[in-house]
């Protein structure tokens, strides 16, 4: 077979955990993980059980056993080589970035901490977004800084929690840091979100519609996703497949903030939908920065990407949005989740043995939420609550659970 899954036996996982717990800080064992040894298509994904396990190597490190992770479009891009220069300092000595572990979301349990860690301890359930310069979460263990980690919402299972950290940090960075939205500057603001049915889009709708903020949100998505985004609270929905999306948007009042999850030709016409000379902002998550530095180097690529900012519409602010791992921000999100103001949106979840199938699902596009990977099996009662009576596609892909938002 192309992929061998027999080595996923629970006994080997237990054996590794015993080895890890019996080792001293800084001593690496081995773990199971999905890695790539070169950039390319889905064929480069390889399951391995001899990957060096991370260890607590600094006083502020937190070692987490991964219970669940989720895939994001960034994982597809990184698999193909996007962000190859993500940590130039690590490559100065000629060392290779391979084998590379993908995966930027994690929900799991703390197993070890550095001596200066004060907010977490072994046994704590946590969630986090993994920085792009670190090894990812498609593995049994991941090492993070204390400041990148947050306690997991008590109301969510690990499967549900794993769907949120990356999109939360990305949306908050784009809407708050780049877009300038806040309690004081969001009341009556008009926000347009393009590509709103994906992970960042579905989260952004909920953030922008919090009663404390009071924004009016218009979204673009396909007709099939209208029920999803309206259920999350979108005020107006424009079907981009109908052929008259641009014309419909042109008839609406101008927007204060546009969050662009699509890029490409969308940018050419969407910029004209902003209020001119009134501090309005166009924030795009599809930026040329990393692709330029990948191909041209840090200096030349950065200059080339920066020059592209000069060719935008007058009278509006044009900004790039990036995801920034932020534990304290996830603390705030945890409060909103546990109070029922933000819902996880899980479209499907896969077992750890079917990571390649999960990537194929993500590659199909037209997402209706997140694709989650179960790295370890949760308590049977939690899994039963998440599973419905029949799968929604081939393989072991499973539908979202009762506590996540799903289209009915």
Token duo for residue 282? 């166009």
Which CATH architecture group holds 30-163+345-377? Alpha-Beta Complex (3.90)
In 72-183, where do the E strands start and end? 100-101, 105-113, 125-129, 141-145, 149-151
Is the separation of the CB atoms in 219 and 229 below 8 Å?
yes
Give which of 10, 99, 122, 124 is closest to 48, Cα–Cα: 99
Is the separation of the CB atoms in 69 and 373 below 8 Å?
yes
Distance between CA atoms of residues 49 and 223, nearest Å:
43
Token duo for residue 375? 């790295």
Where, residue-wise, is CATH 3.90.180.10 in the chain? Answer: 30-163+345-377
Distance between CA atoms of residues 321 and 367, nearest Å:
20
The domain 167-320 having CATH identifier 3.40.50.720: the answer here is: yes
What is the reported pLDDT for 16?
Answer: 39
Distance between CA atoms of residues 118 and 280, nearest Å:
41
Is the separation of the CB atoms in 126 and 99 below 8 Å?
no
What is the reported pLDDT for 405?
Answer: 52
Give which of 135, 103, 43 is closest to 371, Cα–Cα: 103
Where, residue-wise, is CATH 3.40.50.720 in the chain? Answer: 167-320
Cα–Cα–Cα angle for 131, 171, 367, rounded to 5 degrees: 95
Question: How crowded is residue 360: how many other Cβ atoms within 10 Å of its Cβ?
Answer: 14
Distance between CA atoms of residues 121 and 20, nearest Å:
16
Tell me which DSSP letter residue 401 carries: -
In 250-313, where do the E strands start and end? 257-260, 281-284
What is the reported pLDDT for 378?
Answer: 56
What is the reported pLDDT for 134?
Answer: 94
pLDDT tens for the 408 residues of the chain, in order: 333 333 333 333 433 343 444 333 444 599 999 999 999 999 999 999 999 999 999 999 999 999 999 999 999 989 998 765 544 444 444 456 889 999 999 999 999 999 999 999 999 999 999 998 899 999 999 999 999 999 999 999 999 999 999 999 999 999 988 998 876 677 778 999 999 988 898 998 887 655 447 789 999 999 999 999 999 889 999 999 888 899 999 999 999 999 999 888 888 889 999 999 999 999 998 865 455 444 444 444 444 445 555 556 668 898 888 888 999 999 999 999 999 889 999 999 999 999 999 999 999 988 889 999 999 975 434 444 444 332 323 334 444 444 455 443
What is the reported pLDDT for 382?
Answer: 47
Query: 64-91 burial string, b = 16+ CB within 10 Å, else e?
Result: bbbbbbbbbbbbbebbeebbbbbeeeee
Cα–Cα–Cα angle for 64, 70, 76, rounded to 5 degrees: 120
For 126, the 3-state DSSP assignment is strand
């Amino acid at each position: 077979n192309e992929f061998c899954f027999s080595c996923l036996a629970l006994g080997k996982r237990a054996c590794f955990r015993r080895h890890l717990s019996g080792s001293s800080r800084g001593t690496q064992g081995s773990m199971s993980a999905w890695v790539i040894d070169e950039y390319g298509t889905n064929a480069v994904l390889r399951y391995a059980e001899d990957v060096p396990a991370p260890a607590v190597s600094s006083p502020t490190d937190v070692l987490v056993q991964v219970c669940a992770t989720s895939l994001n479009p960034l994982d597809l891009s990184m698999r193909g080589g996007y962000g190859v220069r993500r940590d130039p300092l690590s490559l100065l000595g000629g060392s290779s970035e391979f084998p590379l572990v993908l995966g930027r979301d994690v929900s799991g349990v703390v197993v070890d901490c550095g001596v200066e860690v004060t907010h977490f301890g072994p046994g704590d359930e946590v969630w986090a977004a993994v920085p792009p310069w670190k090894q990812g979460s498609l593995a049994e263990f991941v090492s993070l800084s204390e400041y990148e980690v947050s306690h997991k919402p008590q109301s969510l299972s690990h499967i549900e929690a794993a769907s949120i950290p990356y999109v939360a940090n990305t949306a908050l960075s784009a809407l708050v840091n780049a877009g300038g939205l806040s309690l004081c500057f969001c009341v009556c603001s008009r926000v347009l979100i393009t590509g709103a049915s994906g992970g960042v889009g579905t989260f952004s709708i909920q953030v922008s519609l919090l009663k404390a903020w009071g924004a009016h949100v218009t979204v673009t998505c396909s007709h099939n996703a209208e029920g999803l985004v309206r259920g999350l609270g979108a005020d107006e929905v424009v079907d981009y497949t109908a052929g008259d999306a641009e014309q419909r948007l042109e008839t609406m009042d101008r927007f204060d903030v546009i969050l662009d999850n699509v890029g490409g030709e969308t940018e050419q016409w969407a910029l004209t939908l902003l209020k001119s000379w009134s501090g309005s902002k166009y924030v795009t998550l599809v930026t040329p920065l990393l692709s330029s530095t990948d191909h041209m180097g840090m200096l030349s690529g950065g200059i080339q990407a920066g020059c592209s900012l000069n060719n935008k519409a007058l009278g509006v602010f044009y900004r790039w949005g990036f995801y920034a791992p932020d534990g304290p921000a996830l603390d705030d999100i945890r409060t909103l989740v546990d109070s029922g103001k933000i819902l996880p949106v899980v479209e499907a979840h896969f077992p750890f043995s079917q990571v390649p199938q999960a990537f194929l699902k993500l590659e199909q596009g037209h997402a209706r939420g997140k694709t989650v990977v179960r790295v370890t099996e949760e308590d049977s009662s939690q899994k039963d609550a998440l599973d419905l009576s029949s799968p929604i596609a081939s393989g072991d892909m499973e539908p979202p659970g009762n506590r996540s938002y799903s289209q009915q």
